Each structure stands twice: as structure tokens, then as C-alpha cells.
């Protein structure tokens, strides 16, 4: 069995996940399915694939549905009855806290919502301006979290391993030992959205080339001169061989100058390698011959 642990991902969240009910969709629905499986709610009987539903959900490589359907609501009710909670099929704070194993007196913290409320109040009645204000707050929160992680001086204990490195990989549903530059950015984005109670606007994932392809499909590639803090800087592979992917490394832009930028990156080093040992601040060229820039917010 994989060391992938969805309950640890749940405990790593910056705040209590949002209340979920039938008909909703999103990443937190996937987390709920996997957390219920880790808590023993799915059958251990082998299915057509030869594996049980529980084994499939505890395999990070297996796709998971993101819709809160009636079957999932029934499983939530079953879990709630088992643990003495109101069996309404709605996954709210008490159910999330029970899944995470927090005592009643403990909970997640939820910083940052005051800033979001101010942005909404400032732009109330003007939909476009409100959207822009919320995006500005979210970009600021992503950058704040990146600087916070940088201050921790995160370093690997061995290649692509270590408590903080594996925290990023868990958040992005990666496996210990995998390259983690994209997982670091995915974790920052998801934590920022959780802090502000906002949906995650874009899936960064674990592959740099796949993330650029998704960005191209969604119109998220940033034109030269339009870069902003909170965008992703994605490094092109130099002297690429035919069998190699086009992009090899990603970092978060925290400051933009005329032709270059400052980034905070995971899985790099003091020399700026794309396979390093920690979280570092780097100065990077914005030449599109060397990189792509992706807008996630």
C-alpha cells in the first residue's frame, strides 16, 4: 500500500475545508472521498479491477470523482451516525474535524478573510471590480505564504524527501521522492484559497509541461509585459532531446521588473538548479525564449 495518507493532507490544511453538500463539485470533494476511504467507509471487497474501492481511493494515481452525489451523501451519513454526529449527509466543520482527528476544542485557523471582506465591500455592486479585487487579495495571499515558507529555510533531508517537502507533495497528491517544484506551487495556491474561503481557480498539478498545456487550453499564458506577482514562471528545457518534456521547472513570481523577476521556488538551490534541495528566492529572466509565464489567478 502507498504511503499516501489523505487524512494527513486534511490535517495539513490551513483552515477547516468548506461545508460540502449534495450537488457541489471541487477538489475538496475528492479529499472527502479519500478521507472517508482512509477512515474505513468504503468496501474492502475486490471489484472488477481486482482492487477494492478503498484501495483505489487510497492510490494517488487513481482518478477520483469531484461531484458530491447521493452515494457520497449516504456515506457521509453513515460516517456521522458511526461517530455520534447529526446524520444529515452534509460535511460541515464537525464532520471535517472528526475526520481529521481534532479534539473538539481544536480547529483550523482561518486568517485572511478580513482582507477578502474589505475587497468585496469596496467593489460591492460592481461585478468586474469585485472579481478583480478578490483576485488581487488571492495573489497577495499566495505571495505571503511563499515568503512564509521561504523563511522556514526548507531543505531536503535526502533527495526529494523531508517533512516539509512531503507536506507539499501530500497537498498535491504526489508521492514521496517525486520532484516537487510544481507541488510546492500547488500547495501555496490551495492553502491561499483555503485561507480565503475561495475555490481553487486552476490545477497546477505535478508536471511542468502538463501545467503549461492546461494554461494554453484555458487562455492563461501571460504576454510579455503583463506579468504580475502570483503568476508562475515555468522554465523551458535547454537543448531538449526529442523524448524530453519541454518544461522542467516552475516557481512563483513575487516581484516583477522590466525584463526579469524575483521568484520563490521549491526543489531548487543557490545555483538555481531545477533539481535542488530546498526553497529559495531567485532572480529569473522573463525572456520567452527561456520561460513561459502562467496566470493561475
How far is it, in rounded angstroms, from Cα 85 to Cα 79? 8
pLDDT reported for residue 68: 94
pLDDT reported for residue 4: 67
pLDDT reported for residue 115: 54
| pTM for this model (two decimals) | 0.65
Distances (CA, A) of 135 to 18, 26, 74, 129, 189: 19, 19, 36, 10, 12
Query: Domains in the chain, start-ordered, CATH in brackets?
Result: 6-100 (1.10.101.10), 113-294 (no CATH)
CB 224 within 8 A of CB 215: no
Digit-by-digit pLDDT tens for the chain (297 residues) are: 445 678 877 777 666 788 899 998 877 888 899 999 999 888 778 877 788 888 888 887 778 888 999 999 999 999 999 999 999 999 998 899 899 887 655 555 544 555 555 555 555 555 555 566 678 888 989 999 999 899 989 999 999 999 999 999 999 999 999 999 999 999 999 999 988 888 899 999 999 999 999 999 999 999 998 899 999 999 998 877 766 678 999 999 999 987 899 999 999 999 999 999 999 999 999 999 999 999 999
Amino acid at each position: 500500500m502507498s504511503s499516501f495518507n489523505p487524512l494527513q493532507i486534511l490535517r495539513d490544511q490551513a483552515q477547516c475545508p468548506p461545508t460540502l453538500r449534495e450537488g457541489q463539485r471541487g477538489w475538496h470533494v475528492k479529499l472527502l472521498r479519500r478521507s472517508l476511504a482512509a477512515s474505513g467507509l468504503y468496501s474492502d471487497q475486490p471489484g472488477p479491477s481486482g482492487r477494492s474501492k478503498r484501495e483505489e481511493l487510497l492510490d494517488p494515481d487513481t482518478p477520483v470523482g469531484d461531484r458530491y452525489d447521493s452515494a457520497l451523501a449516504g456515506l457521509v451519513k453513515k460516517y456521522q451516525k458511526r461517530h455520534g454526529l447529526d446524520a444529515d449527509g452534509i460535511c460541515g466543520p464537525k464532520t471535517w474535524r472528526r475526520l481529521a482527528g481534532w479534539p473538539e476544542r481544536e480547529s483550523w485557523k482561518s486568517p485572511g478573510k478580513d482582507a477578502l471582506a474589505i475587497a468585496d465591500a469596496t467593489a460591492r455592486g460592481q461585478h468586474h471590480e469585485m472579481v478583480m479585487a478578490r483576485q488581487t487579495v488571492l495573489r497577495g495571499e499566495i505571495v505571503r505564504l511563499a515568503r512564509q515558507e521561504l523563511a522556514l529555510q526548507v531543505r531536503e533531508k535526502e533527495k526529494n524527501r523531508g517533512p516539509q517537502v512531503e507536506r507539499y507533495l501530500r497537498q498535491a497528491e504526489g508521492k514521496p521522492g517525486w520532484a516537487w517544484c510544481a507541488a510546492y506551487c500547488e500547495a501555496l495556491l490551495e492553502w491561499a484559497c483555503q485561507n480565503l474561503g475561495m475555490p481553487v481557480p486552476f490545477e497546477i498539478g505535478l508536471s511542468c509541461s502538463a501545467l503549461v498545456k492546461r494554461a494554453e487550453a484555458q487562455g492563461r499564458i501571460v504576454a510579455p509585459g503583463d506579468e504580475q506577482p502570483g503568476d508562475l514562471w515555468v522554465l523551458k528545457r535547454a537543448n531538449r532531446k526529442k523524448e524530453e518534456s519541454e518544461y522542467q521547472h516552475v516557481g512563483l513570481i513575487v516581484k516583477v521588473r522590466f525584463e526579469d523577476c524575483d521568484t520563490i521556488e521549491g526543489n531548487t538551490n543557490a545555483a538555481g538548479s531545477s533539481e535542488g534541495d530546498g526553497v529559495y528566492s531567485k532572480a529569473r529572466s522573463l525572456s520567452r525564449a527561456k520561460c513561459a509565464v502562467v496566470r493561475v489567478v
